[in-house]
Amino acid sequence: YILNAIKAKEFYTKDKDYLVMRNQITIVDEFTGRILKGRRWGDGLHQAIEAKEGVTVGSETMTMASITYQNFFLFYKKLSGMTGTALTEAKEFKKIYNLSVDCVPTNKKVNRIDKEDVVYKSLYAKWKAVLYESLSIHEQGRPLLIGTSNVKNSEIVSGLLKEYNIKHSLLNAKPENAANESEIIAQAGRKGSVTIATNMAGGGADIFFCG
């Protein structure tokens, strides 16, 4: 109980690792940015977080059996798949599944420009730079998509833009924002639009540029 209490306090953050919704703790998937309905952390950790946030503490869940994705997929006689990130993990696919990875070329020439990383000494300097860059792009009338790692950061950026009266859309795991996902994505490529999104807009989201 003591270890779980420490973990809950020091390593799990509200609006980053989980949301508090309707007197319940809801887990947020760190990779997709989406809520994991019905999922609970095991071994008493979920109860510790519930106690931390002052919501109703549920019953403890126990893992009766488990299997890794790798071993589960090996039960299939035939395996295939398609993803935009397979090439970088080609060695792992070969080692674990004995599968080769082929790269399908893009239909059109890639016009994306990859710039060097920019590192800041403080979060304040980072968010200040994000704000100034956003203001510059918005003044040019270009559509802008700001990607953040979690709900908390998306709301920080949203707050900064509100201070400058910049109209924008916010897409994160919170129900009031996730409910409008299709509409937010549909308008993200329009002239002058500003969209803030977590990883929800990072996988398989088609953003079309339009006037």
Identity of the residue numbered 29 = D
Identity of the residue numbered 33 = G
Write out the two tokens for 204.
């398989």
pLDDT at 182: 85
pLDDT at 177: 87
pLDDT: which is higher, 84 or 122: 122
**Nearest of 137, 168, 165, 140 to residue 155 by alpha carbon:** 168
* Contact by Cβ (8 Å): 44, 4: yes
pLDDT at 100: 95
> How far separated are the first and last CA of the chain, in Å rounded?
56
Q: Which domains does the chain have, with CATH numbers?
A: 2-53 (3.90.1440.10), 123-201 (3.40.50.300)
The C-alpha atoms of residue 75 and residue 68 are separated, in whole angstroms, by 11
Write out the two tokens for 71.
């071993």
153-176 tens-digit pLDDT: 999 999 999 999 999 999 999 988
pLDDT at 203: 65
The conformation of residue 199, written as its DSSP 8-state character, comes to G
Burial of 207 (0-12, 13-18, 19+ CB in 10 A): middle
